[in-house]
Amino acid sequence: MRYSLTFALPDTPGQLLRVLEPIAKMGGNIVSIIHERDRVGDVYVPVSVVAEFPDTLLISVVLDELRKMGAEVLEVKEVFRKSSLTVMIIGDASISEFFDYLDTLSVSRMEVSGSSSKQRCVKVDLEASEREVGNLLKRLEEMCDNHGFTLLKPIL
């Protein structure tokens, strides 16, 4: 699991290290650190740390640990890694009735072909978080099975 943790850190040396250490100790792998230093004169500086934690670790445990050491966590967000995947659907003219539905599925690009013939096919580029991909494909598969369309999944 990847999380983004935003801290308000006192603008004095060694503060960042103080929060990074417990994160690393709990198995967190630091991916990026964004430091908003431009607000000169502020006592606290907002710092966002993106870290990858083992799947078995509860984020609440990490937060408890940080709180215990007095680090104020302003915001916690899970970061979903996106993957893009391409599928194609072959069907009859009624396939166009499903374009609206496809649009609800985080489509980044759609290309339709064969509009002059009885058979149509559509290529859909989707963007989804890695954990959503399986579900998304299952829903598409059900839709295609129900309507007698052919779904072409990528080999991934």
Partner 1 sequence: MDVAIVGYGFLGRNLLTSVVEKWSAIKAVDPYFRLVGVSNSTGYAFSPEGLPLHGVLDSGGLEHYSGFTLGGTSLELLDKCSPDLVVELTPTNIVDGEPGLTHIQHSLRMGSHVVTANKGPLAHAYWELNAEAQKHGVMLLYEATVAGAVPLFSLVRECLQADRITRMLGILNGTTNYILTRMHFEEIGFEAALKEAKERGLTERDPSIDIGGHDAACKAVILANAIMGKRVKLRDVKTRGIETITAEAIRLAKRSGYTIKLVATVADTVEVAPRLVPVNHPLCVHGTLNSVYLESDLAGELTLVGHGAGKQTVSAIMNDIITVLKRTSH
Q: Is the dihedral of CA 90, 91, 95, 96 positive or negative?
A: positive
Q: Which is nearer to partner 1, 73 or 88 (by Cβ)?
A: 88
**Interface with partner 1 includes 58 (CB under 8 A)?**
no
Q: Which is nearer to partner 1, 26 or 88 (by Cβ)?
A: 88
Q: How many CB atoms lie within 10 A of CB 4?
A: 16
**Interface with partner 1 includes 111 (CB under 8 A)?**
yes
Q: At what angle do helices 15-25 and 59-68 cross, to 10 degrees?
A: 140
Q: How far is 128 from 149, CA to CA, in rounded Å?
A: 22
- List the interface residues with partner 1, window 112-151 (CB under 8 A): 113-114, 117, 119, 121, 123, 150
**Interface with partner 1 includes 152 (CB under 8 A)?**
yes
Instruction: Show the site string, 86-105: x = touches partner 1 by CB under 8 A, - = not.
Output: xxx-x---------------
Say how far residue 138 (Cα) sits from the centre of its chain. Answer: 19
Q: Which of 94, 65, 84 lies closest to 130 in space, CA to CA?
A: 84
Task: Point out which residues bind partner 1 (CB under 8 A).
Answer: 86-88, 90, 111, 113-114, 117, 119, 121, 123, 150, 152-155
